[in-house]
Structure 1
Amino acid sequence: MSNANPGAGFEYPAVEVSWLKRDVLLFATSIGCTVDELQFLYELHPKFAVFPTYPILLPFKTTTQEVIDFYASQAQTPIPGIPKMDARRVLDGQRSMTFLKPLPPTSAGKKFEIRAKVLGVYDKGKAGTVIETQQDLVDAGTGEVYTTAVGSGFYVGQGNWGGPKGPATVNFPPPDRAPDAILEHQTTAESAHLYRLNGDYNPLHATPEPGKAMGFGGAIMHGLSSWNFTARDILRRFGGSQPENLREFQARFASPVLPGNKLVTKAWRTGEVKGGFEEIRFVTQVEGGKVCLSNGRALVRIVDGKAGISQIDGLIFEWEDDTNIVKPPVTTSANATSVDDYKYNIHSLGCIDYQQEEMKNASRVGVGVGLLKQEANRDAMKKRWVGVLGVALR
């Protein structure tokens, strides 16, 4: 610990954490996983897995299965040389997470701990104070580290105590070109109430009064809910919803999201590959409004649909068998007809409505970009349509 950076290197007492299968199922549901990602939603799925960002919640949940007093739970261990901060006026600044080992579906039979240390405490003047910490999820029995998270808490209006201003943040701007994918996530008025059941019971996200006192006009979404929504969307689009395909994920919390807002994420592949993981950069904004997640970056092992690819008028389709070409070719992207009377209508963000007139049980289904497990008539189609992988950008 140095006078130039008071608090840096301070280690908090280790905190035991635990989780059950129901906790990881709830988490996956709360961040928007759907039935085409059943491995995150059903405990008997042969590939049942924990969504990789789940440990970001464990410092809030710790070992409890009950609703807790958020403010009491946030009572901080004093950091030498730093004024006491009011946890009732704290916002997330940014979070990054590195995934080192897949998390078991339950902690039963092992003892896990969050081991945290202070990386820096920065005085931002009248605006407030930033405390940057590193939190490692560790198997206390073996010492193995499963995830490492680096985050910053912004203590609103709690600055001007004479501390250092802090270094400039490393930025990851998106490329100056059209994005490779545009992803949507619709929240509801109840999204924050579902997400908080993971263990983050901050009243700021449940009732209007705290948000009004902080100038937000009412309740706002958890910053980490938007962060996790986007992590799920990025992994689904680029990594085939396979948890082992996400190595790192980070974003800065740029502005609040209100319950009911639609989030729109623009994502770019950079072509920079390290250890088989490609860097993805992204920006998430409220539809028609401000950027809410900036400085977005993920390292993803790209899934390009190894089951076979068909490209039709700029779209990429995946088939279960070895059929790589759909005939006749699509001639228009507005109302296209392909084999077996399937109709594809391309929406502005790459989504598709499809209808096979022969199949009464199919009628009309809206399909988002991603992998849809939709059985087609095998006798008629001689193959199974797995889904739309995305929009092919030339």
Structure 2
Amino acid sequence: MASDKPVKNASGKYDNVDFRKATGYQYPPIKCAYNRRDVLLFANAIGVQKDELHFLYELHPKFAAFPTFPVNLAFKRTDQDVYDFIARNVTADVPGVPPFDAQRSVDGERGIEILRALPASSEGMDLEIRNKVIGVYDKGGAMILESEGELVDAKTNIAYVKLSSSSFGIGQGGYGGPRGPSKPSITIPKRTPDAVHTFKTTPEQALLYRLCGDYNPLHADEEFGKRAGFKGSILQGLGTWNIAAHGILKELGDSDPARFKSYGARFKSVVYPGDELETRMWVVRSEEGHDHVVFETIVKGDGRVALANGYATLKQKGSKL
């Protein structure tokens, strides 16, 4: 029986590559755990402010995890200490696909759908992320892997969130695989935004956010960042993504976690610690008790777009749905 495992040849490329074999592959479940301190740290790392004390104080009567908190659990897993990010993030043996080079791979898009409120800690739960491959695509220069999964309590089989992602393996394509579907771009309205949220990151922002589980040296080590082709260390893409999520919930959802239903964006440009982020948001339609929002996040100063194709769904205030 022929192996599905690609093998590196003398040229540095791989033989036995067939991206089509990857579709539907189920990853081994990733066990996750977190405590209230993790929840508090995350809220601090994404710029939650003191007037939103229910995210920042464990004795607040409405203490809650910020809704996008689960996106880092696949990194953090069950650890309370730092770990070797590069070693951990070598792709599992996906059939027909060369292993992703973690040092030359970046997030493409991320999305989350909230199915039910996440408890303020995972005590008493057996949480795991069950992920599967939607498709692997060959853009010539890059290999793109799309996956989706759920955060599930294995004790009850209750799912709390759905997660989606696409990863870019830079310089890791060129195998003649399927190019994949072309995705429509979200159109930004040609009118004044309904709300704007600005957040000035600090030079230490990435060093704080990495404590939430993303210990990639790219976000701490200036020389590592330069070797990767940047000016130095960079802010985590998910750091920017979560800062924008906070801005949307604060400006359009009264900072009420129960109103946050879905959210996602495409990573467009690098952000450096110290940059000021401006998230511009538009409510494009309201139906069945929900507001549908599109947004973009730019870096103030040079105007480069950090997050594109941004969308969110918020339950309307007072809606029973």
Aligned equivalent of 1:86, options 98, 101, 115? 101
Q: Is the 8 A contact 2:47 2:243 kept in 1?
A: yes
If the length of structure 1 is used for normalisation, what is the TM-score? 0.74
Report the Cα distance in structure 2 between the residues aligned to 1:251 and 1:130, rounded to whole angstroms: 16
CA apart distance, 1:271:
2.3
Identity within the alignment, %: 46
The Cα offsets for residues 297-350 of structure 1, whole Å up to 9 and x where unpaired, read as: 00012449xxxxxxxxxxxxxxxxxxxxxxxxxxxxxxxxxxxxxxxxxxxxxx
Q: Which amino acid aligns with 2:136?
A: V
Aligned equivalent of 2:298, options 285, 288, 291? 285
Q: CA RMSD in A?
A: 1.4
Report the Cα distance in structure 1 between the residues aligned to 2:275 and 2:20, rounded to whole angstroms: 39
**Alignment correspondent of 1:163:** 177
Q: Is the 8 A contact 2:280 2:296 kept in 1?
A: yes
Q: Is the 8 A contact 1:83 1:161 kept in 2?
A: no
1:230 aligned onto 2:262: no
CA apart distance, 1:241:
0.3
Runs of 4+ in 1 over 6 A off after TM superposition: none
**Alignment correspondent of 1:187:** 201
Matches within 5 A, 1:47-66: 47-66=62-81
- The secondary structure found in structure 1 opposite 2:47 is coil
**Alignment correspondent of 1:219:** 233
1:240 aligned onto 2:254: yes
1:250 aligned onto 2:272: no
Report the Cα distance in structure 1 between the residues aligned to 2:268 and 2:92, rounded to whole angstroms: 28
**Alignment correspondent of 2:87:** 72
1:295 aligned onto 2:304: no
Q: Which has the larger radius of gyration?
A: 1
Report the Cα distance in structure 2 between the residues aligned to 1:216 and 1:122, rounded to whole angstroms: 25
- The secondary structure found in structure 2 opposite 1:115 is strand
CA apart distance, 1:48:
0.5
Report the Cα distance in structure 1 between the residues aligned to 2:246 and 2:88, rounded to whole angstroms: 28
- The secondary structure found in structure 2 opposite 1:164 is coil
Q: Which amino acid aligns with 2:299?
A: V
- The secondary structure found in structure 2 opposite 1:50 is coil
The Cα offsets for residues 253-295 of structure 1, whole Å up to 9 and x where unpaired, read as: 001001100001111111232x411101101000022000000
Q: Which sections of structure 1, spanning at least 5 residues, go unmatched?
A: 305-394
1:109 aligned onto 2:124: yes
- The secondary structure found in structure 1 opposite 2:229 is coil
Aligned residues: 301
Q: Is the 8 A contact 1:238 1:303 kept in 2?
A: no
**Alignment correspondent of 2:289:** 276
Report the Cα distance in structure 2 between the residues aligned to 1:112 and 1:4, rounded to whole angstroms: 30
The Cα offsets for residues 159-216 of structure 1, whole Å up to 9 and x where unpaired, read as: 1022111111132212121111121011010000000000110011111122212211
**Alignment correspondent of 2:25:** 10
- The secondary structure found in structure 2 opposite 1:6 is helix
Q: Is the 8 A contact 2:90 2:99 kept in 1?
A: no
